[in-house]
Each structure stands twice: as C-alpha cells, then as structure tokens.
Amino acid sequence: MSKKNILVLCTGNSCRSQLAEGYLRYFAGDKANVYSAGIETHGVNPKAVQVMAEDHIDISGHTSNHVDEYQAISFDQVITVCDNANEACPFFPGKVERFHENFPDPAKATGTPEQVINEFRRVRDMIKVYAADFVNEHVN
C-alpha cells in the first residue's frame, strides 16, 4: 500500500497547521507523508513549538511554507484547519479528499502570558484528538 500524501492548510502556517502536521506525523508514522502550508507564511510560532515540546513532539525544525511550493506533489487528502484557508483554498488537481475543521487561532489569544500559553495548550489538545481520529479513520 502506498503512502498517502496529506496536506494541512491554514492561513499563515504558523500555529494550527504546524500543530496538526506534528500530530499527524506522530500518529500516522510511516503510513503517510504529511506536509503543512499556508496561503501566507508567518513563520513557525515559538509558542506552538513550546506546547508541542511539552507533549514530547519536536516541531522546531518545521518551516513555514506557502501552498504554492507543493504544486508538484499529488495530495490524497487536504485538511483545512481554519475557515479562512477553507474559503481561500486553491484547487488541487486529481482526486483529493477535502476535510475541514475550524480550530480557534491561539496566536490571537490575549491576556497574561499564562492565559496565552494555556490557549495554545487548549488548541493543541483539540488538534491532537482530531489528528488521532483522522489517522484512525482515513489513514490506517
């Protein structure tokens, strides 16, 4: 069975899609090639790296990529993790399964540093559950 190519797409490829890429890679193991991209690139958010490290997943080597960089790859599945990306999502040729789940943007969190990092953790945990379920249903 060939590996599936999965793309996670959000607006800036800095938080939500990075978290999802980390968990999808973790849960899918060698069953899938997982990529993430944005319709813009904002750089990988250091707090996203921090909260993933707390869960023993290292995304510090991830880069913030523009969706156009992946035109040569034939994706099997595209997951949009914010409404903006879902609306602006480019057309992917071939037989691509589209999935959409709108997660809150932790980068928009306000309050004390503790409140902000707790919002990153809350979104991380939501994405972890989504990624585990996604791999069970659509990859395994």
Instruction: Kindly state the average pLDDT of the residues 33-38.
Output: 96
Instruction: Give CA–CA dist 97/126, Å, rounded.
Output: 22
Query: What confidence category does residue 3 fall into, taking pLDDT thresholds of 50, 70 and 90?
Result: very high
Catalytic site includes residue 15: no
Out of 9, 48, 59, 82, pick the active-site residue. 82
pLDDT in tens, 71-129: 889 999 999 999 888 888 777 767 899 999 999 999 999 999 999 999 999 999 999 99
pLDDT score, position 53 = 98
Instruction: Give CA–CA dist 73/39, Å, rounded.
Output: 16
Average pLDDT, the chain: 93
Q: How many CA atoms lie within 13 A of 29 on its CB side?
A: 2
pLDDT score, position 94 = 73
Out of 57, 88, 89, 96, pick the active-site residue. 89
Catalytic site includes residue 10: yes
Contact between residue 8 and residue 27 where contact means Cβ atoms under 8 Å apart: no
pLDDT score, position 1 = 62
Higher pLDDT, 26 or 1: 26
Contact between residue 51 and residue 112 where contact means Cβ atoms under 8 Å apart: no
Kindly tell me if the per-residue pLDDT of 138 is higher than 80: yes
Q: Where are the alpha helices (DSSP H) in 2-140?
A: 16-28, 46-54, 83-88, 113-134
Q: Count the Cβ atoms, other than its own, within 10 Å of residue 57.
A: 17
Higher pLDDT, 83 or 131: 131
Higher pLDDT, 56 or 82: 56
Task: Please classify residue 61 by burial: count the beta carbons closer than 10 Å to its beta carbon, then call 0-12 exposed, 13-18 middle and 19+ buried.
Answer: exposed
Q: Which CATH number describes the domain made up of 4-139?
A: 3.40.50.2300
Q: Count the Cβ atoms, other than its own, within 10 Å of residue 50.
A: 15
Out of 6, 8, 9, 10, pick the active-site residue. 10
For the full predicted model, state whether its pTM sits above 0.75: yes
